[in-house]
């Protein structure tokens, strides 16, 4: 090593140290901006909020923008693969009355099959998000804030939708059973709107059991829907 090499080596070490210090300051600023975003735009607000990042926010968060993408991507998939298809299926296939259930048995059966696919999509998207969440490496000051935002925007909505599927599928199955029952005893049953007239009193116990089951399912669906509304709007 020559006498000139030592000063050059020292300068190189100083420059590397300065560069590393600068990187640390940049990461700290990005983390601070991201924490503030999560706290003010998601955690502190009632209901579910998944703001779309602006170009400036994406730049300000640096690599932490990818952490937010885990939350945003799940909600985008939830909307496209679960919420919208479920709404469309209900609009197209859900019976509006007992008479409608009898007349549209095939539509109800198709809707029941579609519910299975929608439920599977929810499970898959949640598993993907949970795996990505678990793989994130986050500093101690960021992790609890991010976990709270993740629970608000991912875990809780997924649970709420998951509560709807068993009740909705159960109701559809019971509508199909009712339609089959009416078909088997068509000569003894007359339906007018919500009223059912029987000419065979022996069928009354079985019919009552079906009606009680449908009533309970309806209450379960309404409860699950209320939970979704409460999550969405913070009510």
Within 10 angstroms of residue 211's Cβ, the number of other Cβ atoms is 15
Within 10 angstroms of residue 158's Cβ, the number of other Cβ atoms is 20
Which residues have a Cβ under 8 Å from the Cβ of 180 and sit 6 or more positions away?
A: 105
Which residues have a Cβ under 8 Å from the Cβ of 185 and sit 6 or more positions away?
A: 200, 203
- Residue pair 171/214 in contact (Cβ under 8 Å)? The answer is yes
Distance CA 220, CA 235 (A): 19
pTM of the model: 0.80
Task: Walk along the chain (235 residues) and give the pLDDT tens digit of each residue.
Answer: 544 544 454 444 444 444 444 545 899 999 999 999 999 999 999 999 999 999 999 999 999 999 999 999 999 999 999 988 888 777 766 677 777 778 888 888 888 888 888 999 999 999 999 999 999 999 999 999 999 999 999 999 999 999 888 888 888 888 888 888 888 888 888 887 778 888 999 999 998 998 888 888 888 878 877 887 888 888 6
Residue 18: predicted pLDDT: 41
> What is the residue extent of each domain of the chain?
72-233
- Residue pair 152/127 in contact (Cβ under 8 Å)? The answer is no
Residue 144 gets which letter from DSSP? H
Residue 23: predicted pLDDT: 46
For residue 195 the two structure tokens come to 């009223």
Within 10 angstroms of residue 41's Cβ, the number of other Cβ atoms is 15
Residue 163: predicted pLDDT: 86
């Amino acid at each position: 090593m020559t006498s000139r090499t030592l000063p050059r080596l020292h300068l190189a070490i100083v420059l590397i140290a300065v560069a590393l210090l600068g990187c640390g300051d940049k990461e700290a600023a990005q983390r601070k901006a991201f924490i503030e975003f999560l706290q003010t735009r998601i955690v502190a607000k009632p209901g579910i909020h998944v703001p779309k990042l602006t170009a400036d926010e994406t730049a300000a968060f640096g690599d932490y923008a990818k952490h937010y993408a885990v939350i945003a991507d799940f909600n985008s998939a939830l909307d496209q693969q679960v919420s919208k298809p479920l709404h469309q299926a209900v609009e197209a296939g859900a019976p509006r009355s007992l008479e409608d259930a009898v007349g549209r048995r095939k539509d109800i059966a198709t809707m029941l099959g579609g519910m299975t696919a929608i439920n599977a999509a929810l499970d898959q998207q949640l598993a993907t998000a949970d795996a990505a969440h678990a793989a994130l490496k986050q500093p101690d000051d960021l992790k609890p804030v991010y976990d709270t935002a993740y629970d608000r925007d991912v875990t809780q909505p997924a649970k709420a939708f998951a509560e709807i599927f068993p009740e909705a599928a159960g109701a559809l199955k019971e509508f199909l059973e009712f339609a089959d029952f009416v078909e088997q005893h068509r000569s003894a049953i007359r339906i007018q709107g919500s009223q059912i007239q029987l000419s065979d009193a022996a069928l009354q116990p079985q019919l009552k059991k079906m009606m009680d089951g449908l009533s309970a399912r309806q209450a379960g669906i309404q409860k699950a829907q209320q939970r979704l509304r409460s999550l969405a709007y913070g009510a």
